[in-house]
Structure 1
Amino acid sequence: MIGVAPPAYDPAAPTTAHTLPVGAPATVRAYVGELLRRHRRAFLLLVAANTVATVASMVGPWLLGDLVERMADGARELRLGWTVTFFVAALAVQAVFVRQMRLRGAVLGERMLADLREDFLVRSVRLPPGVLERAGTGDLLSRITTDVDRLANAMREAVPQLTIGVMWALLLLAGLVVVAPPLAPAVLLAVPLLVIVCRWYFRRAPSAYRSEAAGYAAVAAALAETVDAGRTVEAHRLGDRRVELSELRVRQWTAWERYTLWLRSVLIPVISLVHVTVLGSVLMLGGVFVLQGWIGVGQLTTGALVAQMLVDPVNLILRWYDELQVAQGSLARLGGGREIEPGAGHASLAPEGRDVRADDVRFGYREGVDVLRRVSLAVAPGTRLALVGPSGAGKSTLGRLLAGIYAPRDGSVTLGGAELSRMTAERVRSHVALVNQEHHVFVGSLRDNLRLARTGAGDAELWAALGAVDADGWARALDDGLDTEVGSGGTALTPAQAQQIALARLVLADPHTLVLDEATSLLDPRAARHLERSLSRVLDGRTVVAIAHRLHTAHDADVIAVVENGRISELGNHAELVAADGAYAALWRSWHG
């Protein structure tokens, strides 16, 4: 049965999918070791409680074997009172330490699970935004939901139970060696069969479970994309095509589900055969040893009971080790972010100045398709630069490159002479901030939402930041002021108010260079114009790169760069470009009438 071929199945997910990397086995082992080192005291206490409980569990077989031996020798006084007392005391000790073992194992698992969730969140938010954007919503959601759920059972039970099972089996074998040394080799007769089937299974299981998880991620990605783009799907009559894609992803995922189930259907019967082999070999060989006079009947009784007791820890080890194969796939996916070290080896790289430069930059989202072509640009400190041009020309892409979100395919983007793509994300964000039309209000108080930009800001600073973006009026009208709960389940804010909160965060963060991409798009034109004039006072002296979709923004800029077909076709101030009667002049006339 072991030699049969696995059932046919399709790939679990497209090989070209852009997802976060999956951690290599070495990365997973290193991370597990790190978790155990963090909780070494709890782990050692768990091992100690397990040791005491296992030793206490062997008292019963030893007492019964001793009783059988004395009866076989014709003893008339069995001293059952002492035997029963000793057995009850050992049983009580076992019960107490089993309870401690389970309690400490559950606590250890919960703490490790909490660490894992926190580590994934912290590492994810430190990744370059471009990496997260390319990974896609489906991949991220499946990792933080499905993979964490799968790991929950492993962290709560598998790791503690596997530790318990290994210690339990080793102590039982040691006890067998002590009470009946000739019987110990009999247990080893089943080891080759166990090793062969486990080797066969565990060589296939990890990759199969990882593919199963990747298949589910592909299903989640297809469904999430269809829901997010529901209106577009309806408008272009793409429903049948999206249904076909979803069905394909489901078929691919279920194929891996069937394959992993087939693997288990081979493993479990062989494990049952191993248990029968262990007990049978101990009884048959032990019977021969008794007839030869090499061991006593009491030793055979104790040995048989201990061999029977081995069934539980072996089952425990294999059951939870199998569970860990599922968990290993999920842990590899959650730990995949550890394969990405943004700015690794360049932690000390720091800009020497505030000038921003793009030199001969080429960039594209797909291989062989350039959005920007040989773009060069120099932005002096304190300059207000407006990027204008038709939709799809590459304005927002250039803005994201200047903000350090993406790294150029060719050429370089530097801040103060330091390449943004080689700096850590934290260092880039301390100098350059990107504000676009996508704003999020977190569940919590208005004060907490604002302090995301500067945790130590006082109320006076928070009100000043709100005032700078014309938001203090509606904010003071809230029932509880800065303590008002906002976000999901709290006070509902309009998209325009959410945008003002994002801009207030920008004021609090106080970066010296800003990239604004439709930062006021959710406000009506009059309010947007008023807000931009208010912000101009706050932004005085800072370098501002504004992707200008409303040309009054460009009118007020020091320098205007016209982006067409991925290139900068014109560069100058408003008066110069209007006088040149080129692309910008045409845009200005069409917008201004």
Structure 2
Amino acid sequence: MTRLPVADRRTVRRALRDLISRHRRAVGIVLALHSAAALAGLAPPWLLGTIVDRVTAGTVVATVDRLALAIAGCVLVSALLSRYAQYAGHRFAERAVAELREQFVSRTLGLPVSVVERAGSGDLATRSSIDVATVGTTVRDVVPVIVIASVQLTLLFGAVFLLHPLLGLAALAGLPSIVAVTRWYLRRASSAYLTEGAAAAELTETLTTTAEGARTVEALRLADDRIRHGTARVTGVWQARRATLALRTVFFSAVEASYPLPIAMVLLVGGYLLAADRVSLGAVVAAALYLQQAVDPMDRLLQWTEQAQRGFASYARVLGVGLVPPEPPGATTTSRGERLVVRTARFSYADGHDVLHGIDLEVQPGERLAVVGPSGAGKSTLARLLAGIDAPRQGVVSIGGCPVTDLDPAERRRRIALVTQEHHVFIGSVRDNLAFAAPDASDEQMRAALATVGADWYDELAEGLDTALGDGARQLGAAEAQQLALARLVLADPHTLILDEATAALDPSTARRTERALAAVLVGRTVIAIAHRLNTAHDADRVAVLADGRITEIGSHDDLVAAGGAYAALWRSWHAHADERQR
């Protein structure tokens, strides 16, 4: 499995700057409101210190009442400004998260199919769910908290300095230890959270593949093996989370131990200054209150710094999807004719071992070619090369003289369609599922496409094309879902069809009926069928036998049976099993 890339810190910072730049008006409003709220919050401690000085000097009760009323007014103003600041911050965050989700979906849909398949569904699923949600939490909750806390701390410590510079210096007594442990934490946190995200992706991949292949696991008695594999992935997540927890344990313990020191130093220095008559008692009280008031924003700032590291790591993983080069627009969008030609094609996957060895093949326009062979011979790999999903390591696959991979992706998909035994039913109506292939198709055309592939189950749907499919709605069986996929193929109307065991999920009688129904649609089109039922090969114009990544035989059904080679042996074996099933 090849992991999708992760953006580096410079890319993440650039993306954050671009995000702020696009929403600078909203960000400016949020900062202004939070700053005003923090300024209003500075008044109560100063007013309280003034009350202490006035009482010490022997003021009247009316003056104290006025100052107390002013304190209440400042608290109310601060609360109102904070409320509107949070409202504005959440509006900005929700817009930013919505924009992020749209960009992520757009980038994901632009990924080459081969990249998605090799990365595995677990990594992409984790990035599209957990990572995007983490970034959303960071933008919506963490960033406003960090902004608010930073503004409050700046103003609070500034106010202490204004009371007396020595008090301000005393207030910074806990700063060196906090800075030191924060730097220690930040140097280690990013890589630790990236490791945790990768471990979670591997666990998701394992759970997804095990669930999807549950019947295969049961049939092959692989349950113990899958449990061991899953346990190893759970252990990996546990170890990764223990590592991040260890970092947080050191970080928060050291920070919490640093909080009492500034207050103690301010009281100590304040006592000295008060004895020297260089500061009033009210100023010392106000400074102590400011520092006590600073504990909460400092705590929130450092606490959410940890969540910000999670968000930073998740943002790097989300942006990493955009680092995969999308399918480039082809330099050539037209080709001469529809003849499909493969010349000395070799192909290997990530391990470097060749799966196809010098394939030579020509498929004429309108021809029906069946590709047969044992499991693992390379049939599906050849189908992917013909469809342009993968490019050969050596040699060329061309249509009308133009390399398939050089065609514009939209043009290639319009002309060549690959339908496999894997299918997907999207959440939505029947109409929504069919519209993916032909957005402009009418209801009549959609019904005709379903009828063409023998989808008799459609007649039982009370709501017709508006019937909802997916979780909590109408569930389609494997055969029904495959017929829906074939109906999409009919609507897509490509010139060249590659059917990679496209009717494998259907029972023999339904598959035969569907293939007969498709026969009318396939007239005049080039069809390459990866056949597991040899009746498909019997009906083809030519049959290519693939073994160990090489074409060993090619010709008509009758010629190959008469030749008495590998195909003839397959035909006799298949007929014997068919007769046995009928008995």
Q: TM-score, normalised by structure 2?
A: 0.87
- 1:452 paired residue number: 436
3-state SS in 1 of match to 2:395: strand
- 1:369 paired residue number: 353
Contact 1:105 1:161 survives alignment (8 Å): no
- 1:441 paired residue number: 425
Q: Any residues of structure 2 matched to 1:92-171 within 5 Å, and which?
A: 92-171=76-155
Q: Is 1:328 aligned to 2:304, yes or no?
A: no
Contact 1:343 1:422 survives alignment (8 Å): no
Matched residues in 2 for 1:122 and 1:94: separation? 42
- 1:342 paired residue number: 326
Matched residues in 1 for 2:466 and 2:398: separation? 41
Matched residues in 1 for 2:464 and 2:78: separation? 59
Q: 2:505 aligns with which of 522, 543, 564?
A: 522
Q: 1:256 aligns with which of 226, 237, 240?
A: 240
- AA at the equivalent of 2:467: T
Contact 1:343 1:423 survives alignment (8 Å): no
3-state SS in 2 of match to 1:341: coil
3-state SS in 2 of match to 1:169: helix
- 1:486 paired residue number: 469
- AA at the equivalent of 1:29: R
Q: 1:306 aligns with which of 283, 290, 294?
A: 290
Matched residues in 2 for 1:521 and 1:241: separation? 27
Matched residues in 1 for 2:232 and 2:457: separation? 50
Stretch of structure 1 that moved more, 418-427 or 151-160: 418-427
Q: 1:553 aligns with which of 532, 536, 542?
A: 536
Q: TM-score, normalised by structure 1?
A: 0.86
After superposition, the Cα gap between the structure-2 partners of 1:96 and 1:486, relative to the gap in structure 1 and judged at 3 Å, is same
Per-residue displacement from partner, 1:125-167 (whole Å, max 9, x unpaired)?
3322322222334434444444455445434311221222222
Alpha-carbon deviation of 1:565?
1.1
- 1:3 paired residue number: none
Residue-pair matches, total: 575
- 2:393 paired residue number: 409
3-state SS in 1 of match to 2:151: helix
Matched residues in 2 for 1:287 and 1:556: separation? 101
Q: Is 1:88 aligned to 2:72, yes or no?
A: yes
Alpha-carbon deviation of 1:515?
1.4
Q: Is 1:565 aligned to 2:555, yes or no?
A: no
Moved over 6 A (4+): none
- AA at the equivalent of 2:372: V
- 1:66 paired residue number: 50
3-state SS in 2 of match to 1:549: coil
Q: Any residues of structure 2 matched to 1:118-267 within 5 Å, and which?
A: 118-234=102-218, 236-267=220-251
Contact 1:154 1:324 survives alignment (8 Å): yes
Contact 2:342 2:398 survives alignment (8 Å): yes
Stretch of structure 1 that moved more, 92-101 or 74-83: 74-83
3-state SS in 2 of match to 1:318: helix
Contact 2:333 2:408 survives alignment (8 Å): no
Question: RMSD over aligned Cα, in angstroms?
Answer: 3.1
Alpha-carbon deviation of 1:390?
2.4
- AA at the equivalent of 1:452: F
Alpha-carbon deviation of 1:420?
4.6
Per-residue displacement from partner, 1:193-225 (whole Å, max 9, x unpaired)?
222111111111121122223223333434444
Consecutive unaligned residues of structure 2, counting only runs of 5 or more, are 577-583
Q: Is 1:352 aligned to 2:322, yes or no?
A: no
Matched residues in 2 for 1:414 and 1:24: separation? 38
3-state SS in 1 of match to 2:553: strand
After superposition, the Cα gap between the structure-2 partners of 1:428 and 1:33, relative to the gap in structure 1 and judged at 3 Å, is farther
Q: Any residues of structure 2 matched to 1:452-471 within 5 Å, and which?
A: 452-471=436-455
3-state SS in 2 of match to 1:309: helix
Q: 1:583 aligns with which of 566, 576, 582?
A: 566
- 2:520 paired residue number: 537
Q: 2:3 aligns with which of 19, 23, 26?
A: 19
3-state SS in 2 of match to 1:516: strand
Contact 1:468 1:534 survives alignment (8 Å): yes
Stretch of structure 1 that moved more, 365-374 or 259-268: 365-374
Matched residues in 1 for 2:574 and 2:226: separation? 38
- 2:580 paired residue number: none
Matched residues in 2 for 1:235 and 1:537: separation? 37
Contact 1:127 1:425 survives alignment (8 Å): no
Q: Any residues of structure 2 matched to 1:23-62 within 5 Å, and which?
A: 23-62=7-46
Alpha-carbon deviation of 1:445?
2.0
Matched residues in 2 for 1:450 and 1:84: separation? 70
Consecutive unaligned residues of structure 1, counting only runs of 5 or more, are 1-16
Alpha-carbon deviation of 1:93?
1.3
3-state SS in 2 of match to 1:519: coil
After superposition, the Cα gap between the structure-2 partners of 1:477 and 1:224, relative to the gap in structure 1 and judged at 3 Å, is closer
After superposition, the Cα gap between the structure-2 partners of 1:131 and 1:190, relative to the gap in structure 1 and judged at 3 Å, is same
Alpha-carbon deviation of 1:384?
3.1
- AA at the equivalent of 1:448: D
- 1:379 paired residue number: 363
Alpha-carbon deviation of 1:54?
0.7
- AA at the equivalent of 1:490: A
Query: Percent identity between the aligned chains?
Result: 44
Contact 1:442 1:488 survives alignment (8 Å): no
Contact 2:546 2:552 survives alignment (8 Å): yes
3-state SS in 1 of match to 2:172: helix
After superposition, the Cα gap between the structure-2 partners of 1:35 and 1:545, relative to the gap in structure 1 and judged at 3 Å, is farther
- AA at the equivalent of 1:465: A
Contact 1:180 1:300 survives alignment (8 Å): no
Contact 2:371 2:545 survives alignment (8 Å): yes
After superposition, the Cα gap between the structure-2 partners of 1:428 and 1:190, relative to the gap in structure 1 and judged at 3 Å, is farther
After superposition, the Cα gap between the structure-2 partners of 1:248 and 1:579, relative to the gap in structure 1 and judged at 3 Å, is closer
Per-residue displacement from partner, 1:219-266 (whole Å, max 9, x unpaired)?
343444444444554555544444433333333332222222221121
3-state SS in 2 of match to 1:310: helix
After superposition, the Cα gap between the structure-2 partners of 1:151 and 1:543, relative to the gap in structure 1 and judged at 3 Å, is same
